[in-house]
A and B are shown apart, each in its own frame.
Chain A
Amino acid sequence: MSPSKPPCILVVDDDLDMLAFLAKMLTRKGGYEVAVARCAEEALDKVQTEPPAAILTDIKMPGMSGLAFLQRMRTLDPAVTTVLMTGHGTIEMAVQALKDGAYDFVEKPFDNERILYALDRAVERTRLMRENARLQDQLSEQEYVCGFVGRSRRLQQTLELLHRVARSNVTVLIQGESGTGKELAAKALHRLSQRGNRPMITVNCPALPEHILESELFGYRRGAFTGADRDKTGLFVEADGSTILLDEIADIPVSVQTKLLRVLQEKEVQPLGQNRTFGVDVRVIASTNQDLEAKIRRGEFREDLFYRLKVMTVTMPSLAAIASDIPLLAQHFLDRYSCEYGRGHLEFSTEALQSLIQHNWPGNVRELQNTINRSVLLCGHSVIEPADLWDEADPLPELAATADFPDNMAAASFEQLSYQKAKNTLLHRFNAAYLSQALRSSSGNVTAAARACGMERQAFQRLLRRHNIDSRSFRDG
């Protein structure tokens, strides 16, 4: 809301004289801009096109009543503050309206001061509500830009470094074990820079064979080699004005390294078969999980390129270094996947959380993420226990051998199914396999099987019924 434009009040009343009077009074005495509507339905339309700072509405109107309108508004845009007025109000009505979230309630006939006072405060409330919402958005936006979850000092230091480096144009080398979020860091660097509104180009270096990598990066002229039937723009040219991420740079062949060095030094590219060079304005971010210095000693990586790249180095912490963030990260992934799979409320048992913290995570955050993802998919109850997390401690690997286990029903059998059907099918098969296995181990003894699965007998039996499993068929003899 710009200060020059007065806040807008939407007045709703079926009495035309009243509307005219209020519009005049609020404009002259209150300095407001006024929009009017003759019924709640019309008001709802107007609200959609131009949200007012406050609403002043009559209660008794043909069609939708003021109280129903208030309820609709509360769900439509809770920030908009509503003041109700009535000529034939009862106390019960006023009490109900105020309980339903009306900000104020004025009785006709009213004096102008009273209405203006009520609306001044209402407008102020709307302003504060909107301001609050905007700041909240900004906060979550910031979190989103970085995409990192965690409060540990080590992570915060890394994030701070990313923030500081982002605004400059220097080449950044991101180091870190696999699964520590190197690509996420690169994205954050890009988003936080002035280049952030253009798309970042990501090149997964080891995924491309040597000659293709070269032509992809630098482009070629038609006829540069057999099969080059038209000009191709290289990724560096495409990334002009933006950022290019060279993922896993340690794996690029030495010949390409030489060309890359030239781009970094001269800020220009020369497509294959082209005599001319093109100037490009590209910020280079490189990432690696390997020890580049060791590679230099073995002659597999050019030392001069290394120094060009490591103008600024950001080292992503391993999960072991930020172990205090494990509960937060685990919760984050749990929320995310239970929402994604529509699982409702799920939580970790204390033991499960403990075992997550104690676990050794060679695959770092990505491994943690995958572990949580799997446990959300497979966990049949609302509390995730240690057994739901680990393959090893669980009879699940044995189950994998049986024909029914999820692994071998991946893409092929699910492609044609809707999400809900696929999920139900998978859950059903999992339950059938898991429960049968448990009953086999206990020779059909339900109580023992339930105990082994860490469940109550009643819950176990409910599952058996749901999946049509007869415990008697597992009894010996």
Chain B
Amino acid sequence: MAEILVLDDVLDATVLVGKILKKKGHVVHTFTEEDEAIAFVRTHPIDLAILDLNLKKMTGIEVLAALKQIRPTTRSLILTGYPTVETAREAISLGVDEYCVKPIDRTDLEEKVAKALASQLKD
């Protein structure tokens, strides 16, 4: 069981991902506002962050950078409907575990989350 943060500007998207992960026994914190998500992480260490790229004020890359600065060992996953090589490159250089493209099917998501969390144990 892990503490997972889900950030997407579309509420339904966070609910959907949250449902899938809760069924796996994780504690899920969903956000649609990036500043709220960042503030939450400051006071509440999480194991994994799942981030959308196109947010309201910031980009997912900027949020990722902020999260890594707060707690560098936090695992992370980018989940976007508008993938580009540029953002993939930036995300990887920031240490993202996976860069996934929407729509993602359920088992795929579960697998990638499990893999990211497993690599956390190795550190």
Residue pair A99, B85 in contact (C-beta under 8 Å): no
**Taking the nearest CB of chain B, how far is it from the CB of A234, in angstroms?**
65
Residue pair B89, A91 in contact (C-beta under 8 Å): no
- Is A367 located at the chain interface by the 8 A CB criterion? no
Closest to A118 in B: B89
Q: Name, among A94, A95, A99, A106, the residue most crowded by chain B CB atoms within 10 Å (CB to CB).
A: A95
**Taking the nearest CB of chain B, how far is it from the CB of A58, in angstroms?**
15
**Taking the nearest CB of chain A, how far is it from the CB of B86, in angstroms?**
9
Residue pair B101, A99 in contact (C-beta under 8 Å): no
Closest to A89 in B: B85
- Is A236 located at the chain interface by the 8 A CB criterion? no
- Is A107 located at the chain interface by the 8 A CB criterion? yes
Closest to A105 in B: B85
- Is B83 located at the chain interface by the 8 A CB criterion? yes
- Is A98 located at the chain interface by the 8 A CB criterion? yes
A-B contact count (CB 8 A): 26
- Is A104 located at the chain interface by the 8 A CB criterion? yes
In the assembled complex, the Cα of A470 lies from the Cα of B99 at a distance in Å of: 59
Per-residue A-contact encoding for B74-96, CB less than 8 Å = 1, 0 else: 00000000011100110011000
Residue pair B89, A105 in contact (C-beta under 8 Å): yes
Residue pair A91, B92 in contact (C-beta under 8 Å): no
Which residues in chain A, 88-138, are within 8 Å of chain B measured between CB atoms? 89, 91-92, 94-95, 98-99, 104-107
**Taking the nearest CB of chain A, how far is it from the CB of B108, in angstroms?**
11
Residue pair A98, B92 in contact (C-beta under 8 Å): yes
Residue pair A94, B89 in contact (C-beta under 8 Å): yes
Which residues in chain A, 183-200, are within 8 Å of chain B measured between CB atoms? none
Q: Which of B88, B93, B98 contacts A94 (CB 8 A)?
A: B88
Q: A95-B99, A99-B92 given; name 11 further pairs at CB < 8 Å.
A: A89-B85, A91-B83, A91-B84, A91-B88, A91-B99, A94-B88, A95-B92, A95-B98, A105-B85, A105-B88, A106-B85
B contact set with A: CB distance below 8 Å: 83-85, 88-89, 92-93, 98-99, 101
A contact set with B: CB distance below 8 Å: 89, 91-92, 94-95, 98-99, 104-107
Q: Which 9 A-B pairs have the closest CB atoms?
A: A91-B83, A98-B92, A95-B99, A94-B85, A94-B88, A95-B88, A105-B85, A107-B85, A91-B101
